[in-house]
Amino acid sequence: MLNSNPNKVQLFALPPLALYIHFPWCEKKCPYCDFNSHQVKDVKENQHPQGFDEARYINALIADLETELPRTWGRQVHSIFIGGGTPSLLSPKGMDDLLCAVRARIHLEPGAEITMEANPGSVEADKFSAFAKSGINRVSLGIQSFQDQQLKALGRIHNGDEAKRAIAIALEHFKSVNIDLMYGLPKQTLAAAKADIEAALSFKTPHLSLYNLTLEPNTYFASFPPSLPSEDEIDAIFDQNLELLNKAGYKRYEVSAYAKKDQECKHNLNYWRFGDYIGIGAGAHGKISFPDKITRQVRERHPESYIQAMETKGMALIESREVPAKDLPFEFMLNTLRLTDGVQTKTFSERTGLPLNVIAQRLAQASKKGLLDDNPALLKGTDQGLRYLNNLQEIFLG
């Protein structure tokens, strides 16, 4: 069955469902970071061993999850991602309590991918062993660079040796390990970028994420910008990185993500394929579909405000809205066009509940500009479209 009404959402099957859990604290706020992260308070001042009230926050998370259950009842959760901040600051008991509570409340797919983000400065072998026993089977390490000078410029609390040690420990304990690296760093040369990639490749992790450093609004770097390589230099670094990764057997499957065969991040693929996700925790976003609408939610951003809202009102939503049908094409394309293989054309109607003809004119426009593959069975950016992704995505705006 197909929906022929361009102004009405009509989903005949709901998309896969994931769970995102936000942990808002980190040991130090990095100057480039625009995520919802807050530096932990001094332990003496805060009266908590870790600088934050772990028990209160976990209780708030569990209560938050329970508010979402009526909206997702009976649906299986395919993956969990614990992001931050630095979730590895949680104690082993805290992580175990959290995951046990989650499993007791949702229908989690057997063998589901459960990812935790970690920074090298917070990595301890005993702690990682305990996290693995709690059910974490994938870890994403915020390495960014292996060079001490660059790490210092990025405001990181670890050095190159600690980064390498963290990867080695993670590989001992987890089924899958991702390394986050940045390029286009302050005064970075082609040779320095190559050294970073080669250091990462030496560990043969199944997944690598490679991000171009950008100056995001409301960050320290936005106010006090460092000296970054020119656009031509950044393009040369990217081309060099892509060649090295291809030779090492990594496929670029998303704009910033590279994986060995069958090692893609399932949780992130769900985002990029316009799947659904419950989002709990301070500042977390969620997307939940129903047969006749698609909704989005946003939680209280500050950790204390979030906890207090859950404790006093039993809810921490600051926004809960139905996405207008006219906005769905752009939201869909914003995600799916990041994938190098794109998605099948039929996925548009399956995930938005709208007929394909609402974007037919824009598809033709993007194809004519050489930004979109002309295969009618695929919605896929060309090499040029991926390089100028913002220009491709903007065609579907409004």
Burial of residue 132 (number of CB atoms within 10 Å: 0-12, 13-18, 19+)? middle
| Among the listed residues 297, 378, 362, 290, the one whose alpha carbon sits nearest the alpha carbon of residue 330 | 362
**pLDDT over 80 (residue 11):** yes
Give me the mean pLDDT over the 206-211 stretch. Answer: 97
Per residue in 92-135, pLDDT (tens digit) is 999 999 999 999 999 999 999 999 999 997 778 899 999 999 99
The verdict on pTM exceeding 0.75 is: yes
**pLDDT over 60 (residue 274):** yes
Please state the domain extents for the chain. 17-270, 327-398
Please state, in angstroms and rounded to a whole number, the distance separating the CA atoms of residues 56 and 257: 35
Please state, in angstroms and rounded to a whole number, the distance separating the CA atoms of residues 170 and 47: 31
| Among the listed residues 363, 350, 344, 338, the one whose alpha carbon sits nearest the alpha carbon of residue 254 | 338
Q: What is the pLDDT of residue 249?
A: 97
**pLDDT over 70 (residue 43):** no
Q: What is the CATH number of domain 17-270?
A: 3.20.20.70
Instruction: List the structure tokens of 363.
Output: 């598809």
Residue 46 φ/ψ, nearest 5 degrees? -90, -20
pLDDT band at 46 (very low <50, low <70, confident <90, very high): low
| Among the listed residues 184, 376, 389, 358, the one whose alpha carbon sits nearest the alpha carbon of residue 272 | 389
DSSP, collapsed to helix, strand or coil, labels residue 378 as strand
**pLDDT over 80 (residue 276):** yes
Q: What is the pLDDT of residue 167?
A: 96
Helices marked H in the chain: 43-46, 54-72, 92-105, 125-134, 148-153, 160-173, 190-201, 220-223, 231-247, 266-272, 303-312, 328-336, 346-352, 360-368, 383-387, 389-394
| Among the listed residues 340, 348, 350, the one whose alpha carbon sits nearest the alpha carbon of residue 382 | 340
Contacts (Cβ under 8 Å, ≥6 apart) of 291: 10, 11, 12, 14
Q: What is the pLDDT of residue 398?
A: 72
**pLDDT over 90 (residue 327):** yes
Contact 320, 284 (CB under 8 A): no
CA atoms within 13 A on the CB side of 210: 29
Instruction: List the structure tokens of 361.
Output: 């004119």
Of residues 250 and 220, more confidently modeled: 250
**pLDDT over 90 (residue 309):** yes
Of residues 282 and 7, more confidently modeled: 282
Pick one of 3.10.560.10, 1.10.10.10, 3.20.20.150, 3.60.20.30 as the CATH number of 327-398: 1.10.10.10
Q: What is the pLDDT of residue 386?
A: 95
